[in-house]
Amino acid sequence: AQSVAQPEDQVNVAEGNPLTVKCTYSVSGNPYLFWYVQYPNRGLQFLLKYITGDNLVKGSYGFEAEFNKSQTSFHLKKPSALVSDSALYFCAVRDVSRSGSASKIIFGSGTRLSIRP
Amino acid sequence: NAGVTQTPKFQVLKTGQSMTLQCAQDMNHNSMYWYRQDPGMGLRLIYYSASEGTTDKGEVPNGYNVSRLNKREFSLRLESAAPSQTSVYFCASSDLDFYSGNTIYFGEGSWLTVV
């Protein structure tokens, strides 16, 4: 069965420093991978996705993520954090090799990112 | 372009009461979803509809029913609310195109409290 794990409940970073939010996944075939961000009392907003091609994916708000097949990881990164990046971040995975009812997107438990001034 | 719209935004129910959460999308998407979000649990899929006329159970379907009324609308019904159903509910939609890695778009959420 497909699964996704976000090992850190919270990540704290000083403004201006680089940030990393970790995500690992498990699928039987090839994955589609996604990152979403959730601001307080709002729905999830799409940040970026990996489908195929270049392992480094660039997304909204200066975020990027690197797909590492050997480590089954898709960590979210940003070179210089902003206070406004403080939010809840979700990683999600979909197993490309499965169709129909088995092709659902599964979300991780979320990582709260806190950027201090 | 409103995207995904869900109502109501807030609701308090007594145990045993019933209610329906409404969802509509204006992006001409084929697939629609209902998730619930609980602290430390992330998002869990309740039901989804891959296309108009079809519905399937997700991870946590017990206590819920859904109706895909047409391509735009996908409602979630709680027949007899229980305190365990206190949660934030999100409706979402996506294209059916399986091979394009379709992105899911979310509504703003419905906060439901069952007392």
- Choose between A40 and A98: higher pLDDT: A40
Contact B101 A101 (CB under 8 A): no
Indicate if the pLDDT at residue A3 is higher than 60. yes
Q: What is the pLDDT of residue B107?
A: 94
Contact A109 B42 (CB under 8 A): yes
Contact B101 A104 (CB under 8 A): no
Contact A110 B4 (CB under 8 A): no
- pLDDT per residue over B71-114, tens digit each? 999 999 999 999 999 999 999 998 865 555 678 899 999 999 99
Pick the residue from chain B with its C-alpha nearest to A47. B103
**Closest Cα to residue B4, out of B82, B83, B92, B85?**
B92
A57 within 8 A of A74, measured Cβ to Cβ: no
Q: What is the pLDDT of residue A97?
A: 63
- pLDDT per residue over A14-61, tens digit each? 999 999 999 999 988 888 899 999 998 888 999 999 988 899 999 999
Q: What is the pLDDT of residue B115?
A: 96
- Choose between B37 and B50: higher pLDDT: B37
Separation of alpha carbons A81 and B53, rounded Å = 45
Using alpha carbons, list the distances in angstroms from residue B36 to A60, B10, B60.
25, 14, 9
3-state secondary structure of B33: strand
Contact A90 B101 (CB under 8 A): no
Which band of pLDDT confidence, cut at 50, 70 and 90, is reported for residue A103? low
> Judged by CB atoms within 8 Å, which residues 51-90 of B form the interface with A?
56, 58, 90
Indicate if the pLDDT at residue B51 is higher than 90. no
- pLDDT per residue over A61-92, tens digit each? 999 999 999 999 999 999 999 999 999 999 99
- Choose between B34 and A30: higher pLDDT: B34
Q: Touching check for B106 and chain A: CB below 8 Å? A: yes
Contact A32 B101 (CB under 8 A): yes
Separation of alpha carbons B111 and B90, rounded Å = 9
| Close Cβ partners of A56 (under 8 Å, ≥ 6 residues apart) | A64, A65, A66, A67
Q: What is the pLDDT of residue A27?
A: 86
Q: What distance in Å separates residue B52's CA from the closest CA in chain A?
A: 14
Closest by Cβ to B41, choosing from A96, A105, A109: A109
The residue length of chain B stands at: 115
Which band of pLDDT confidence, cut at 50, 70 and 90, is reported for residue A102? very low
Contact A103 B108 (CB under 8 A): no
- Per CB-CB distance under 8 Å, the chain B contacts of A49 are 101, 103
Closest by Cβ to B90, choosing from A43, A96, A105: A43
| Close Cβ partners of B60 (under 8 Å, ≥ 6 residues apart) | B36, B44, B45, B46
List the structure tokens of A43: 């729905």
**Closest Cα to residue B104, out of A103, A81, A5?**
A103
